[in-house]
Amino acid sequence: MSKKRTVFAGSGCAIITPFTNTGVNYEVLDELVEFQITNGTDAIIVAGTTGEASTMDDREHLSVIERVVKKADGRVPVVAGTGSNDSRHGAALSREAEKLGADALLHVTPYYNKATQSGLIEHFTLMADSVSIPIILYNVPSRTGCAIAPATLDKLADHPNIAAIKEAGGNIAVTAKMMALCRDRIDFYSGNDDMNVAICSLGGKGTVSVLANVAPRQSHEMIAKCLAGDYEAAAKIQLDALELIDALFCEVNPIPVKTAMRLMGYDAGPLRLPLSEMSENSLNVLKTAMKNYGLIK
C-alpha cells in the first residue's frame, strides 16, 4: 500500500472555543486563530475536547468549524472534531465538515455506550467511508472509557482514509507497540503534552497540543527540534514547560487552559456546564506556573 499523505507535521493546537453567555465569540475566535498562525502553529484542531464540542449543538459546532476554516484561509491545515458515540451522527457531521472545507477530521472513540474492538473497527470504518478527506483517530480512554487496542489499530491502519492517530493513552509502552505494528501505514501524534518528545522520538509526526494555546511558539519549536533530530534541544523545551503542562491539567481540561487564556488577556469567555470555574487552590497553582514560565507577571 502506498504511503498516505501526512495531514500535518509539527504542533497542532487543540484550540479553545471562546463563548459568550449566549453563543460563540467569533471575533475572539478569529483573534485566537491568528495568534496561533502568527506564532508558528502548524495546524488548528477545532471543535475537539479542548474546544468544548460536547456542549455545542450541530449548528453551532459546524459554524465554529466554518469560521476557523475561513480565518485560516489555507495557511495551515484545519482538523475538525466530528467524533460521536452515535455512528450515524458522526458520519453526518463529518460530511458537513468536509463541505465546509476542513482538511481532515478528528474522531474520538465512542464514549458512554463505548464499543467492543470489533465495534470500533465498524465505527471508524463507517466514519472513514463517509468522507474523502483523511481521518485522525483519537484514543483517550481516560475520558471515554474506550481504548483502541494495538491489534485493532493494526487493522484500521489498512484503511486508505485513516491517516493518523492522536494517541493519548498515557502509556508509552502501548504506544510503542502500536507503532511497531503499524509502522508507516499511519502517522502518530502525541495527545499528551508531557509525552510529545517521547512519541516523536519513536517516529511520531507531532502533537495535538493543549499547551500550544498559551505557548504556540514554544510548542512549535519543540516539535521542530524533534523533526530535525535534535532531541536534546526538544527535551529541554518540554522539561522547561513541564510545570506549566502539569498546571494546565490540574483540573479537567479545558478548565485550566481557558482560564489561562483569560489571564493572558484574551476574552475566552465562560466555560459551559458541566465544566465549572477553577478552585482557588488550582487557580493559584496555574498562576504560579504561568508566572514562572513568563506568560504573566
185 and 192 Cβ atoms separated by less than 8 Å: no
Burial class (CB in 10 A: 0-12, 13-18, 19+), 207: buried
Q: Which of 61, 78, 60 is nearest to 69 (CA)?
A: 78
SS3 content of the chain, % helix, strand, coil (to 5): 50, 15, 40
Q: Which three cell numbers stand for residue 297?
A: 507577571
Q: Which three cell numbers stand for residue 154?
A: 493494526
Give 218-223's long-range contacts (Cβ < 8 A, gap of 24+). 219/11, 219/13, 219/41, 219/193, 220/10, 220/11, 220/39, 220/40, 220/41, 220/42, 221/40, 222/11, 222/196, 222/197, 223/9, 223/10, 223/11, 223/42, 223/196
Q: Which three cell numbers stand for residue 39?
A: 506564532
Cβ neighbours of residue 39 closer than 8 Å, sequence gap 6 or more = 216, 217, 220
Burial class (CB in 10 A: 0-12, 13-18, 19+), 252: middle
Q: Which three cell numbers stand for residue 21?
A: 453567555
Catalytic positions, written as ranges: 138, 166
Distance, CA of 83 to CA of 26 (rounded, Å): 22
